[in-house]
Every structure is written in C-alpha cells, then in structure tokens.
C-alpha cells in the first residue's frame, strides 16, 4: 500500500480559461482552501491561468494578476504543473492542449462536452499513454454527481436505459410552455430575456448540446465508444402550443429527452440506440416534474432498478462544484501515486440506427368527417405493423380530429405510416407527430 | 504510475451471510461474471460463504455447496481471501469479523448500517491500521449511488444540509395514508401484508433505521464522526389521519425525514444538527413526490445548489447492485495497489442539541370559541420568541380549532410554547404538533 498522502507538498494547478466557470473555480479554490487542503492532505496551488485577454477587467477575482498568461501551451508544459483544468470549450485548441497535458502525465479536468462527444477517444487514448487521469464530471448535467456513479458505483450492475433532461434552456422553455400555454417563440423570448437562453440558441433548441451529453452518457453506461455522430437528433423548435395542450389532455408533458438504450437490433444482436428528441412523458414519471432550468437523469439498471439524479445542469458556480470535486480526486490520486479507473469500452456495442429504435408515436390528424375514415386510417397502421393503443375522435361539421397513440414499434415503421397517411385524400393535415416515452 | 491491472490473477471474495442480499450477490457474481472481469481486469472468485446453517435449502443458487462454512473467522483469515463482503447485519459478531479482516489488510464491503452508525470509528480505524478499503454504499438508500458522491464528487464543495427519505417501510405507510386517508394502524397492516413491513416494525416506525442512516450521512457530509447516539429521533407512530388531512389542506404531505444540517449553535460556533422525525413538506418539494417504498436524498451544497438522488432503498437485488459496485472498486484498487480515500473527519464539528435546532412547527389546537382566545394564544408564542407565520381558525358553536404555523425558531422555544399552551384553560386539547421542513 503506497497510499498515505505526502502531506505538505502542494498539488499545482493550471487553469485554461477564466470565463463564468473558470472565475468560479478560482473563487472556490480561494474560499475553500482550508477544507480542500484537509480533504486532499496537501494544499492546492494555482500556478497559472491561460486567457486570451490577460488585461481584461475581472472584478474582484482573488488572484495575483501575474498568474494570467496568453501562452496556454507554455503553461501546460511547465514542470511544476500537476493538474490542468480546461474550461475554454470548443474543439480546438482545447484538444491539442488536453492531449499535450495527458501525454505529459498531467491529470486533466475538463467540462468540454463537445470535444468529449466528438473525439473523446483521442483524449482517453492520450490519458492511457501518459498514465494520467481524465475527469469530466462537469461536462454533463453540471453540478449533478452523475458520471462518477456511472463510471464506478454502477459497475456491478447492467444499465439498460438512460433517459435524461440534460439541457436547462430547453427545459425552461418547455416548462414555461406547459405552465402558461405560450408558443415556442414567445417562451424562447422570455428565456432569452431572463438569461436562460443565449443570443444564438441553436445549440440548445436544435438538440446539439443534449446530443453531445447523450454520447458521453451512452459511452459510460454501455462501456462502448459513442460519439455525437452516432446520436439521432431532432430539435424542439417544432413543438407547438397545440402539442403541449394535447399532451396535457393525455396526462403527459413534453420534454426534450436524451435517451440511450441497450437492446437487440433487427438481427437480434446486442446494440445501443442513442437519440435526442422532444417526447411526451406521463406526468407521473419522475422526470415530468423536473421544471425550470433543472436537469435530471433517470437510469434503469437490471439490479438497481430505477434511479434518478437531479440538480442544476449549468451555471458557473454549480459547474465549478463538479470541476473542484474532480480536482480533489485527481490531486489525491497524484499524492497516492495512482489513477482513476481508465476508460471502459470493452463491450464495443454497435449503434442501432434510428429506424430500428422502438418507440411510440402520438399522431394528431385533421380528417374529413366521413364514414369509414377511421377504418382507412387504421388500415394504414396495420399495413406497417404498427399497433394502435388509443384513438380519440372529436368532430365538428365537416372536419374531425383523430388523435392516435401507438404501441411500441420500430421508428421506421412509424415513419412510413406517417408518410402514407400524408398521402391520403381524407387526411387534411397532420397536425402533430410526437414520440411518447417513459411508459412501463 | 503503478496502475495497470495485472490481468488474469483472480481477486478472491469471502461472503459473510447468505440471506436475501447475500443470495443476490452470489447470483449477480455468476450472471455478470464476464462483464465484471472486463471491468476489473481480472476475474472475481468466490472462495467461501459463511452461514449459520450450511445445510439449509437455498433454491437454485449457482454455487458449489462446498463453499459453505460455519467458520466465518476461519474464512476471513484464509490467505487466499482478498475482499470480505459482510451482509449479516447487527453489531456482533459482524464488528469482530470486519475488524479482523481490515487489520489483516483485506478490503471490506458492508451493508451494516447499525454497526457503522454505532461504532463506525472502530471500523475506519481498523481500515487505516490495515491499509485496507472499507466500502459501505449499500448501508444507506440501497441501490442509490449516494455515498460515493458524498465521499468523492462533492469534496470540492461545502454541503449545508442533507434531507432524506431513507426508510422505505415508513414511506410506504405515509404514502398510503396520504393517498387513501387511512390511519397509521390500518396502513401498517397493509404494508405488513404486502411485505413492505417486517413482523416487528419497531426499527422502521420508531425511526431507529433512519437514525442510523442519518448518522452515516452526517459523518460523510460534514467530515465529522457522528453516531446514532447523536441523532435526535422521533418515530412516526403518532402521525394520525387527521395530521395527514391537515397537511393536505396546507398543500403539504407528511414524510419521515432524516435531516443533517450544519450551522451555528447558540454561541455561534459551527455545529451539526442531526435528527429523524416526521415532518410536513410542501407538495412542490422534490421529496414530496417520492412515493411507495422509494428512497430519496436531497442534498444542498453551497456551490452545487440543490441535488436529489432517488431510487430503491431496500430489497435484495437493488442492495446487491450497490454491494457489487463496491466489490468492483475494491478489486480494482487491490490490482492497482492503492486504496480509496480514507475516512475524512478533519472538521470534528460538534453536535448541536435538538433544542437548538431551528425548525418550524404546525400546531393544531382545540380551543374554546371565546373572544380573546387568539390574543391569549398569540401571547404565549410571543413570550417564547416564536414568530407566527399563519393562523387558520375554524369555529362551530362553542368549539373552535386554531391551526398555527410558525416561522423558524429553536426547537426548545417551540417545545416550551407547546408546553405552556397545554396549561391554558381555553385550550381544550392540542390535536397535533408537527415539524414543517423543506421551506425556502
């Protein structure tokens, strides 16, 4: 056992980036210094902060201005740097910096979900090459301790499904639409005014942010490398006030979900389906009551059953909490001369295409109120081997609305059904198509 | 870096106890063998199972009957045992066994909440002496990955409060009282019939089980040794159908909560309050919708904000999931020649007595419907420096009911207020007194 920490010798940190999260990391390192030292068995020492504009005004950040530098690579390469914290984001130069640090045997803490989802393998390979720790708790669901449970606590179990609300902006918008009956545009405007949505909300509302997190979660849950390119992605800009009202009538609410499921593909081989899309879920589901900008991730495992992790998914301070938890772990490992469990990708499960994902659809059709309409419509479903769970018909004069909810079926069958319904003369329009999740 | 696992050499396990949890551990070790080997980098090998009656019929347990022994101590001392799993429960002989194993440098996984709460210090000391791992994820909230987040993920943050529903039996009973309006006795009978309550439910309904878990959670959250004796405990047998109805009127529900808070004591010194009692919480609180026999733990931290962990708190299979997660961690550490972070008790925070705990009361009084009653009652509250938040008065003929909810005040002031109200002539009876938690 070589694990007694060497008390006294500081663990030296380099911080890359000093925006919202970085500034909070600096503040907490300062405020919690005594506790952090006691927990680690040695003090943490911030030896440099790489930024683009070192002269920029940074309020009352409790830090010597001499620590700022524009030379990130130089900082990383310094002999006295043990742990590198990357909170810059984006693919480059973050990737080059992280790989450089890891190959040199320095532990890296990153919140960079986009990079992990696009090219996490390169980072993990560099960590293995350098014998260094790569921690990234802050990359998914902010402050919620979620990745360590997936990486460690649940390693004696088999995870079958992960369903998450991992984007606070879209959850704020959908919660607001649900509460007030507002349409998407109106709710987005409100979210922007309140600072919950960025000036360019594309990454959030089109599901890119959630898709990156889905890839990271699926990789950990299923011991396989899953990238953002493997994730089926559908944004939530098409969700209307009518969809929300229709969900309410069914006792449901609409959430932008990330889903990662293991199961057999069409040839019976074990595979993984990973997708991001808006979906109706029953109000009785634990995820349904996750409001405002909160995040929550629902995990189903064979032995553990249903688990849920809930908390703040974004914001400088919550994200800094996750970063610092990782810093403590990496610092302890360095003092003990050990490292965290490395990447676990032994399962190498293939990705199941979206067409083979089994889901349920909620379809709302405006139809001519004629005899035989339901029979014709039902025939289209039957032809594509989609079983109907419920039909609700409401008619006035010449028009009627059919609301159909299906049983589970491969997405390709459902899509083909919708495509054929669109061609029917008796179907005036398809008012909405939404997936339904969270059923038994 | 000495962390590359030695592939091939098995990690050898001894199992102490083969009841509901032990049998599930055996089954999962067998079923998941391939995955566990891949995750650890070496196979797990079960080399012995200590039981009281080796001849007992154990269904179709996938294990060689020759592994059973009555000699637990002999099994622990075997040279070829690396990791000991204790799922027997109770104080002795479990303590002797665990201490023996740890001192001999063997890692121990235990689900023994009673022992950890009564004498966890002895176990942690033995772990430090032997340089061995002591893991106990299964001791609190069953399958929910909760202790590892507290022990590791949140070590960069300062936890201010932990509020938990950690006893499934009482949560089932209270949920059922809330849903059906049944009284305690009726709801307990139903829970017993359905197997949610044991024949002797004392440990659950009197809060002993929750108090043990509260001690474990408080120790981890506040980096201090807290024992079951430090926990103020009040059972939930006194909760009536009337209390439940009254809570509903206030938009609340009643839960048996374990609470651990840090804050100043009466002299302003940092201290910890740990208690278990029934309390009203607003229906909008995330813990309010935790129904049936589920557990959930709500954690508040300075940087992370509000977090919640939800899942199954009991049952053989969920508990075995937590045990096996720890087995994987302990096995990895052995192969890497390292160990988990040791006990963190540097803060040594003192325990604040219940009288100094700040809480709110909901008090329901049957009073004479006379002029000046409210003034007299209000005067008693003022005398004890308890501020009233709301009063609701409903009267019929000569009798009236006053329902008073206070602002936060030290428990001793609240208790003195209630004691003095009992002495008033105009107070016919005090129908109920309940603490109110979960407010802003």
CA atoms within 13 A on the CB side of A111: 32
Q: What is the mean pLDDT of chain B?
A: 94
Segment B60-80 mean pLDDT: 94
CATH code at A11-146+316-336 = 3.40.50.720
Segments making up each domain of chain B, as ranges: 11-144+316-336, 147-312, 357-436
Q: Is A258 annotated as a binding residue?
A: no
Contact B321 A328 (CB under 8 A): no
Question: What pLDDT digit, counting tens, does each position of B362-416 carry?
Answer: 999 999 878 888 999 999 999 999 999 999 887 666 678 899 999 999 999 999 9
Contact A152 B311 (CB under 8 A): no
Q: Residue A431 contacts by C-beta under 8 Å, 6 or more apart in sequence?
A: A242, A364, A365, A366, A401
A146, A147, A153: best mutation site toward chain B, by most B Cβ within 10 Å? A153
B230's tokens: 């430090």
| Closest-CA residue of chain B to A144 | B307
Q: E strands, A205-269, where?
A: 232-233, 252-264
What CATH number does domain A148-312 carry, 3.30.360.10, 3.40.50.410, 3.90.226.10, 2.70.70.10?
3.30.360.10
Contact B311 A312 (CB under 8 A): no
Give the pLDDT confidence score for residue B399 in this predicted structure: 77
Q: Which of B28, B305, B322 has the CB atom closest to A143's CB atom?
A: B305
Higher pLDDT among residues B210 and A440, named by residue: B210
Q: How many CB pairs under 8 A join A and B?
A: 212
Subunit contact A304:B286, Cβ cutoff 8 A: no
Q: Give the closest-approach CA distance of A25 to chain B in angstroms.
A: 10
What lies within 8 Å, CB to CB, of B229 at 6+ separation is B118
**What is the predicted pLDDT for the residue at A368?**
87
* pLDDT value for B126: 98
Res B210 pLDDT > 60: yes
What's residue B54's pLDDT?
85
What is the distance between the alpha carbons of residues A46 and A60, in angstroms, rounded to a whole number? 17
Whether omega before A322 lies within 30 degrees of 0, making that bond cis, reads no
Give the model confidence (pLDDT) of B303-341 as tens digits. Answer: 999 999 999 998 999 999 999 999 999 999 999 999 998
Q: How far apart are CA B239 and CA B197, in angstroms?
A: 17
**Cis before residue B303, ω within 30 degrees of 0?**
no
**With an 8 Å Cβ cutoff, are B329 and A105 in contact?**
no
Tokens in use for A227? 């990238």
pLDDT of residue B397: 62
Across A280-289, B108-117, B212-221, least confident range: A280-289
The contacts found for B67-71 with CB under 8 angstroms, 24 or more apart, are B68/B18
From the candidates A9, A77, A106, A213, give the one annotated as an active-site residue.
Answer: A213
CA–CA separation, A273 and A232 (whole Å)? 9
Tokens, residue B117: 């709460």
Residue B109 has pLDDT above 90, yes or no: yes
Domain A357-436 -> CATH class: alpha beta
Supply the angle between the helices B411-423 and B373-383 in degrees, to the nearest 10: 140
Query: Rounded to whole angstroms, how far apart are CA atoms B214 and B233?
Result: 10
**Nearest CA to CA, how far is A379 from chain B (Å)?**
41
| Chain B residue numbers touching A38 (CB-CB < 8 A) | 223, 344, 346-347
Q: H helices of B223-306, where?
A: 241-249
3-state secondary structure of A52: coil
Q: B83-86 and B11-16 as β-strands: parallel, antiparallel, unpaired?
A: parallel
Distance from CA of B258 to the nearest CA of A (A): 19
Query: Taking Cα atoms as reference points, which of B230, B225, B228, B226 lies closest to residue B211?
Result: B228
Query: Which residues of chain A lie closer than 8 angstroms to B156, CB-CB?
Result: 28, 32, 36, 320-328
At residue A342, the pLDDT reads 87
Please list every residue in chain B whose beta carbon sits closer than 8 Å to the beta carbon of residue A325.
Answer: 152-157
Of B145, B305, B312, the CB nearest to A154: B145
Task: Average the pLDDT over B138-151 and give the result.
Answer: 95
Residue range B329-356: mean pLDDT, rounded: 94
The three-class DSSP label of residue B273 is strand
* CATH number for the domain running over B147-312: 3.30.360.10
Tokens of A25: 């990391």
Provide the 3-class DSSP secondary structure of residue B116.
Answer: helix
* Multiple choice CATH, B11-144+316-336, 3.40.1390.10, 3.40.50.720, 3.30.70.920, 1.10.357.10: 3.40.50.720
What is the chain A residue with the closest CA to B336? A338
Picking from B112, B17, B85, the residue whose alpha carbon sits closest to that of residue B324 is: B85
* Cβ(A69)–Cβ(A46) below 8 Å: no
Write out chain A's pLDDT in tens, 440 residues. 334 444 578 999 999 999 999 999 999 999 999 999 999 999 999 999 999 998 888 878 988 999 999 999 999 999 999 999 999 999 999 999 999 999 999 999 999 999 999 999 999 999 999 999 999 999 999 999 999 999 999 999 999 999 999 999 999 999 999 999 999 999 999 999 999 999 999 999 999 999 999 999 999 999 999 999 999 999 999 999 999 998 998 899 999 999 999 999 888 899 999 999 999 999 989 999 999 999 999 999 999 999 999 999 989 999 999 999 999 999 999 999 999 988 999 999 999 999 999 999 999 999 988 888 899 999 999 999 999 999 988 766 667 889 999 999 999 999 999 999 999 999 999 988 999 998 75
Q: How confident is the model at residue B5 (pLDDT cuts 50, 70, 90)?
A: very low
């Amino acid at each position: 056992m070589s694990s007694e920490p060497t008390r006294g010798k500081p663990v030296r940190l380099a911080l890359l980036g000093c925006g919202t999260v970085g500034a909070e990391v600096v503040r907490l390192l300062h405020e919690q210094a005594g506790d952090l030292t006691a927990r680690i068995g040695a003090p943490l020492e911030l030896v440099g902060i790489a930024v683009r504009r070192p002269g920029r005004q940074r309020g009352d950040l409790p830090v010597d201005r001499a620590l700022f530098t524009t030379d990130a690579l130089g900082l990383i390469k310094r002999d006295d740097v043990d742990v590198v914290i990357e909170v810059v984001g984006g693919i480059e130069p973050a990737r080059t910096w992280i790989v450089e640090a890891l190959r040199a045997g320095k532990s890296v803490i990153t919140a960079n979900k986009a990079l992990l989802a696009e090219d996490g393998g390169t980072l993990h390979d560099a960590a293995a090459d350098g014998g260094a720790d790569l921690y990234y708790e802050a990359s998914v669901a902010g402050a919620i301790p979620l990745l360590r449970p997936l990486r460690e606590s649940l390693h004696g179990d088999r995870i079958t499904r992960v369903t998450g609300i991992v984007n606070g902006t879209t959850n704020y918008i959908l919660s607001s639409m649900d509460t007030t009956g507002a349409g998407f545009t109106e709710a987005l405007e409100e979210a922007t005014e309140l600072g919950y949505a960025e000036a360019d909300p594309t990454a959030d509302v089109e599901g890119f942010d959630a898709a990156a997190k889905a890839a990271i979660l699926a990789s950990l849950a299923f011991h396989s490398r899953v990238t953002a390119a493997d994730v089926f992605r559908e944004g939530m800009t098409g969700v209307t006030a009518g969809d929300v009202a229709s969900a309410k009538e069914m006792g449901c609410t609409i959430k932008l979900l990330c889903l990662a499921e293991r199961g057999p593909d069409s040839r019976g081989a074990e595979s993984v389906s990973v997708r991001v899309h808006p979906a109706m879920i029953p109000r009785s589901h634990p995820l349904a009551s996750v409001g405002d900008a909160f995040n929550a991730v629902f995990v189903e495992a064979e032995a553990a059953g249903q688990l849920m992790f809930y908390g703040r998914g974004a914001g400088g301070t919550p994200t800094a909490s996750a970063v610092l938890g990782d810093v403590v772990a990496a610092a302890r490992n360095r003092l003990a001369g050990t490292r965290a469990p490395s990447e676990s990708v032994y399962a190498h499960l293939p990705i199941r295409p979206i067409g083979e994902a089994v889901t349920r659809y909620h379809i709302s059709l405006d139809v001519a109120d004629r005899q035989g309409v339901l029979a014709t419509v039902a025939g289209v479903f039957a032809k594509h081997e989609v079983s109907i769970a419920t039909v609700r018909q409401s008619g006035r004069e010449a028009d009627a609305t059919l609301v159909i909810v299906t049983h589970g079926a491969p997405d390709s069958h459902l899509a083909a059904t919708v495509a054929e319904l669109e061609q029917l003369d008796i179907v005036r329009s398809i008012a909405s198509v939404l997936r339904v999740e969270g059923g038994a």
